[in-house]
Amino acid sequence: MTSHQETRGRVAHLLSLREQAERGPSDRATEAQHAKGKLTARERIALLLDEGSFREVEQLRRHRASGFGLEAKKPYTDGVVTGWGTVEGRTVFVYAHDFRIFGGALGEAHATKIHKIMDMAISAGAPLVSLNDGAGARIQEGVSALAGYGGIFQRNTRASGVIPQISVMLGPCAGGAAYSPALTDFVFMVRETSQMFITGPDVVKAVTGEEITQNGLGGADVHAETSGVAHFAYDDEETCIAEVRYLLSMLPSNNRELPPRSEPSDSAERRCDTLLDVVPTDGGRPYDMREVIAEIVDDGDCMEVHERWATSVITTLARLDGQVVGIVASQPRSFAGVLDIHSSEKAARFVQMCDAFNIPIVTLVDVPGFLPGVDQEHGGIIRHGAKLLYAYCNATVPRISLILRKAYGGAYIVMDSQSIGADLTYAWPTNEIAVMGAEGAANVIFRRQIADAEDSEAMRTRMVKEYKAELMHPYYAAERGLVDDVIDPAETREVLIRSLAMLRTKHADLPSRKHGNPPQ
C-alpha cells in the first residue's frame, strides 16, 4: 500500500467516525426524540445558525469514566454538540445538549467541552447561545459532574455584561443545572416540552405534600407569567429559535461594540398624529402604552422582554431610525401603571442589560406611584424599588425620559427623572408632575379648611382645582428646568431620533471601584 493510499484510507476512516458522531446513537433514539415533539441537537443548531456556517469543536470527544457500565458506552460528542457559526453573518458560539446520549446529562468530558466553548466565546467577544435539553448531572460520574456545573457557573458570571448570553430551554432542566440559565441575559422556553425547577414534583410531594405536574411546577407559562425566570415563551422550537436569531440581530457582539444598525424604511420625520387620540387627558382613564410605542418606533416593530410578567411596566427592544433602543414604559392598562416589587425588578434588570451592551434607554412615564399595601411593604418594596433607582443611576448609556401624563412622588424620581441623571427629559402638554395626585394633596394641605367648611365637598373640589392650577399645570416643571422641553406628541418620534443622534457619542465615567453594592 502506497502512502497516498494509506492517507486516503485514514481520511475515509475519519469521515466514517464523523458520520457516526453526526448520526447519533441510533435511528430509534432520534425517533423517540421526535416523538416527544423535540428536535435533535444538530437540527436545532441548523435552525439557529446561517446555513453551512457551523464549525464543530471536539466532535470526537469521549468520556473516560468507568463503573456502572460506562466503560462499555462511550459515544462520540459525549452528549453535547459545541462549536461556532454565524447569525446574519456575525459570529455566534453555541452548545446543544443531545438528549439521545445519556439523556443529555452532564459528565466530566461533557462539561469540559462546554467550558472550552464558553472560554472561546469570551475570548472572541461573541454571543453564546446554549440549547438546553439535559437531565442534570450524570449520576454515574459522581462529584466530577457537579464540579463541571461549577465551572459553567463561574464562566457565566465572568461573561456577564461582556458578551450576550442566551439560554434556550428545550427540555428538562432540574436541580443545580437551572442556575446557569438564571445567570444568563435571556431565557427562552418552549411550552409543554421544557421545564425548569430546583426540586421536581416528586420531591415537592414528599416534603410538602403538594401534588403538581412538571409543567405546573416549572413549565414555560409558569416561568413567563409567575416567576419571571423566562423572558420569552413559544409554542414550538422553530418559532423559538427564529426569535433567538431576531434577538441576536438587536444585540452587539460584546460590550465594546454598539448594537448593529439597520437601514430604516420608516422616515425619521414621520409625524405621530394618532398619539393625540391614543392617550386620554383624564389621568384616571387607562390606555395601552403598546400603542404609543408601536406608533413611535420604526415600522411598529418591537421585541418585548418579559411580556407576561410584572405587566404594569413594559420593557422592549426596538429601533429608532435604524438604531436599537431599549424602552422602559409604564403600562396604565395594568394596575394603572404602578411600580411594585416585580415591575421594579423587571425594569431594573432590563436597564442593566441595556447599559451593559451600549443600548440607549428611552423611558415613557405615566406612573401614579408605588403600589401601596402591607404585602408590598413586608415583601421589601423599598429595596426592590431601590434596584430600579440604582440601575438608572449607574447607567452611562444615552438616557431620555418622556412624561406623557402622570408622574407622581418617588415613582417619578425613579423612572429616570432628570434629577437621577437622564440626559434629556421631555414632557407632553398633558403631563402632571407632582408629589402626589391633586385630590390626595388637597386633603393633606387643606385638611383644616375642608373640615371647617360648611360644605366640605365643595371646599375640597375648590382646593383640588386651586392645587392643580398652582402646582400641577403642564409647564410647572418646565418653568423650573425639571424638563428640557414640552413637546407636541405628534413630534415625539422626530424629537427622540434627533436627541439620540446627538447623544450617540456620549461618554461618561463612573468612579474607580471593583463594583458597586446594589440593593438586593
Pick from 257, 128, 125: nearest CA to 181? 128
How far is the C-alpha of 423 from the C-alpha of 471, rounded, in Å? 24
Choose the catalytic residue: 220, 329, 395, 411. Answer: 411
Under 8 Å between Cβ of 167 and 180: yes
Under 8 Å between Cβ of 300 and 330: no
Pick from 398, 391, 358: nearest CA to 506? 398
Choose the catalytic residue: 161, 379, 410, 421. Answer: 410
Residue the block writes with cell 502506497: 2
- The residues, ordered by sequence, that sit 6+ positions from 180 with a Cβ below 8 Å of its Cβ are 130, 149, 152, 153, 156, 167
Is 411 annotated as catalytic? Answer: yes
C-alpha cell at 95: 452548545
With helix as H, strand as E and coil as C, how does 156-192 read?
HHHHCCCCCEEEEECCEEEHHHHHHHHHCCEEEEECC
C-alpha cell at 268: 425619521
Chain centre to alpha carbon of residue 69: 42
Residue the block writes with cell 394633596: 441
Choose the catalytic residue: 176, 200, 409, 440. Answer: 176
Residue the block writes with cell 439597520: 262
Is 458 annotated as catalytic? Answer: no
C-alpha cell at 165: 448570553
- Other beta carbons less than 10 A from residue 404's beta carbon: 26
How far is the C-alpha of 313 from the C-alpha of 347, rounded, in Å? 7
Under 8 Å between Cβ of 258 and 358: yes
User: Helices 456-471 and 438-445 meet at what angle, rounded to 10?
Assistant: 110
Choose the catalytic residue: 125, 175, 379, 380. Answer: 175
How far is the C-alpha of 82 from the C-alpha of 182, rounded, in Å? 21
Residue ranges of alpha helices (H) inside 68-200 are 108-124, 143-159, 179-183
C-alpha cell at 395: 447607567
Catalytic positions are: 175-176, 410-411
